[in-house]
């Protein structure tokens, strides 16, 4: 069942503020390039040296299966079904590979086959662009429970801001699926094996979540290695309130700003709606201080991380609106969590930018106590000097007539999450040279 935008937004408001092998498809255009066998490494298919040559084109944070707002496909999983997902890469290259995650699976995940192609319309793929993916030289692969797997590199030229379609055929029952709850894009499902279909007619079911696919990486482009940006946070980084299938989340808008300068950059989104800095939740992912290592430090080519998180620690304390009630979190605890993120980034030579928490006035999180906490945390972010730089997204989105509220022109309707214009303003306020 597909979650309607209205149902999803209403529910989110209650708690969220997170071996080069070419196997052509019949009829596909010829591609050439040297063949290199992938070796086992931290992502299951690539050595560290090879990993360092890559940039994140697109990424999302994996989550444990859950359905807090409306049914999705994560809890049941898949069997003899094909899942097709569309992603837009922030930067291009001459090679591509995909990352699949079974981080929260309880059994091995069998990928019977997978393809990548250039997106046409909806679930259809542009003629002549479809390519089979391989894993260690084989078309099928098994991802152990709790693990990730990266495909072999494929000679596949991509441009910044180009949309790609990744298709997975899952013949055997998967059990509950590692997924990403709010993808702000449509995923498609078909019964049977349709991994090589160019047309999208077989894909009659849709979902607003993504499944197993957690990264598309590129190499060989103009992007300087080591200057990638990770946007890390909760629902406001995840893009709740933005238009479905429009790529209008603030990290998307930031990638567009870089591309407009003629110097595209790797910008990936590691936000999870409902995520907290200090506490795990039963539907919104591991706490930020724990998942940071995997979702930020595990990304290739990262030079900067923008941290926008903490509003759920403040607002969700004791509410229990969705899932298990969260204990109250003090300002001191939240600052300690941010310090942990800074230390982790600096230990890897990554610049950490602290983003101020955006307004909550009039939202489900609004209370004098919560507003006092938000102000205190923002004051620390702005004045402590512990972050390498500050992105004042509070100032960028606040109503000049009432700084406790999001500006009406930027409000998605719940007084908490920005709309497309708000996300555009957030990205526009960032200093590109500072990144």
Per residue in 203-219, pLDDT tens?
Answer: 999 999 999 999 999 99
Let me know how long the chain is: 435
Separation between Cα atoms, residue 133 and residue 37, nearest integer Å: 14
Lowest-confidence region among 113-117, 128-132, 313-317, 373-377: 313-317
Helix or strand (DSSP H, E) at 75: none
When pLDDT is averaged across residues 171-193 and rounded to a whole number, the result is 98
Here the contacts of 317-320 (C-beta below 8 Å, separation 24 or greater) are 319/14, 319/15
Strand partners, 163: 88
Determine the angle formed by the axes of helices 368-383 and 331-347, rounding to 10 degrees: 30
Tell me whether residue 48 is exposed, middle or buried, using C-beta atoms within 10 angstroms of its C-beta: 0 to 12, 13 to 18, 19 or more. exposed
* CATH among 3.40.50.20, 3.30.70.20, 3.40.50.1110, 3.90.1170.30 for 224-434: 3.40.50.1110
pLDDT digits (tens, 9 = 90+) for 350-404: 999 999 999 999 999 999 999 999 999 999 999 999 999 999 999 999 999 999 9
Strand partners, 127: none
When pLDDT is averaged across residues 157-174 and rounded to a whole number, the result is 98
The ranges assigned to domains in the chain are 19-216, 224-434
Residue, of 383 and 3, whose pLDDT is higher: 383
Residue 49's pLDDT is what? Answer: 56
Please give the backbone phi and psi of residue 335, each rounded to the nearest 5 degrees, phi first. -65, -40
pLDDT digits (tens, 9 = 90+) for 331-340: 999 999 999 9
When pLDDT is averaged across residues 347-352 and rounded to a whole number, the result is 98
Confidence check: pLDDT of 35 > 60: no
Tell me whether residue 404 is exposed, middle or buried, using C-beta atoms within 10 angstroms of its C-beta: 0 to 12, 13 to 18, 19 or more. middle
Confidence check: pLDDT of 236 > 90: yes
Confidence check: pLDDT of 48 > 80: no
Confidence check: pLDDT of 22 > 80: no
For the chain, what is the mean pLDDT? 89
Residue 50 binned pLDDT confidence (cut-offs 50, 70, 90): low
In 3D, which of 195, 79, 77 has the Cα closest to residue 131? 195
- Helical H segments across 316-397, by residue range: 331-347, 368-383, 393-397
Confidence check: pLDDT of 169 > 70: yes
Strand partners, 166: 85, 116
The Cβ of residue 2 has, within 10 Å, a number of other Cβ atoms equal to 16
CA–CA distances in Å: residue 431 to residues 111, 261, 289, 390, 398: 42, 13, 26, 10, 18
Confidence check: pLDDT of 416 > 70: yes
Residue 322 binned pLDDT confidence (cut-offs 50, 70, 90): low
Residue 325's pLDDT is what? Answer: 72
Residue 180 binned pLDDT confidence (cut-offs 50, 70, 90): very high
Maximum pairwise Cα distance, the chain: 63
pLDDT digits (tens, 9 = 90+) for 266-294: 999 999 999 999 999 989 999 999 999 99
Confidence check: pLDDT of 124 > 70: yes
Residue 47's pLDDT is what? Answer: 54
Confidence check: pLDDT of 321 > 60: no
Confidence check: pLDDT of 24 > 60: no
Tell me whether residue 321 is exposed, middle or buried, using C-beta atoms within 10 angstroms of its C-beta: 0 to 12, 13 to 18, 19 or more. middle
Confidence check: pLDDT of 10 > 50: no
Looking at the chain, the whole-number percentage of residues with pLDDT higher than 70 is 86
Residue 221's pLDDT is what? Answer: 73
Separation between Cα atoms, residue 329 and residue 279, nearest integer Å: 9
Residues 6+ apart with CB under 8 A from 274: 12, 15, 16, 17, 18, 68, 234, 235, 281, 283, 284, 285, 312, 316, 322
Confidence check: pLDDT of 179 > 70: yes
Residue 318 binned pLDDT confidence (cut-offs 50, 70, 90): low
Residue pair 62/149 in contact by the 8 Å Cβ criterion = no
The Cβ of residue 200 has, within 10 Å, a number of other Cβ atoms equal to 19
Residues 6+ apart with CB under 8 A from 411: 418, 419, 422
3-state per-residue secondary structure call for 15-26? HCCCCCCCEECC
């Amino acid at each position: 069942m597909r979650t309607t935008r209205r149902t999803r937004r209403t529910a989110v408001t209650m708690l969220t503020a997170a071996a080069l092998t070419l196997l052509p498809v019949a009829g596909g255009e010829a591609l050439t390039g040297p063949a290199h066998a992938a070796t086992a490494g931290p992502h299951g298919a690539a050595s560290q040296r090879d990993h360092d040559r890559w940039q994140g084109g697109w990424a999302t944070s994996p989550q444990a299966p859950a359905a807090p707002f409306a049914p999705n496909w994560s809890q049941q999983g898949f069997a003899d079904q094909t899942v097709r997902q569309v992603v837009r890469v922030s930067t291009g290259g001459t090679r591509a590979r995909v990352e699949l995650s079974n981080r929260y699976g309880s059994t091995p995940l069998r990928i019977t086959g997978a393809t990548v192609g250039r997106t046409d319309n909806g679930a259809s793929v542009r003629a002549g662009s479809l390519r089979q993916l391989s894993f260690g030289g084989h078309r099928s692969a098994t991802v152990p429970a709790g693990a990730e797997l990266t495909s072999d590199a494929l000679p596949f030229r991509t441009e910044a801001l180009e949309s790609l379609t990744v298709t997975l055929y899952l013949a055997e029952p998967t059990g509950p699926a590692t997924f990403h709850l709010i993808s702000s894009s449509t995923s498609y499902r078909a019964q049977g094996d349709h991994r090589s279909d160019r047309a999208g007619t077989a894909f009659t079911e849709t979902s607003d979540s993504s499944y197993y696919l957690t990264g598309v990486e590129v190499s060989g482009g103009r992007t300087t290695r080591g200057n990638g940006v990770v946007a890390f946070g909760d629902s406001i980084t995840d893009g709740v309130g933005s238009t479905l299938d429009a790529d209008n989340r603030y990290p998307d808008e930031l990638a567009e700003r870089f591309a407009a300068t003629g110097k595209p950059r790797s910008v990936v989104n590691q936000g999870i709606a409902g995520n907290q800095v200090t506490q795990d939740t039963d539907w919104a992912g591991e706490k930020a201080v724990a998942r940071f290592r995997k979702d930020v430090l595990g990304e290739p080519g990262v030079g900067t991380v923008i941290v926008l998180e903490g509003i759920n620690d403040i607002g969700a304390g004791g509410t229990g609106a969705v899932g298990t009630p969260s204990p109250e979190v003090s300002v001191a605890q939240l600052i300690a969590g941010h310090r942990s993120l800074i230390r982790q980034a600096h230990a890897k030579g990554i610049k950490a930018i602290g983003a101020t928490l955006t307004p909550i006035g009039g939202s489900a999180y609004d209370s004098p106590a919560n507003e006092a906490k938000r102000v205190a945390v923002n004051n620390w972010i702005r004045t402590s000097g512990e972050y390498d730089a500050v992105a004042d997204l509070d100032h960028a989105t606040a109503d000049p007539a009432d700084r406790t509220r999001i500006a009406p022109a930027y409000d998605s309707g719940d007084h908490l999450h920005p709309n497309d214009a708000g996300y555009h303003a957030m990205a526009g306020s960032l200093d590109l040279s500072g990144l």
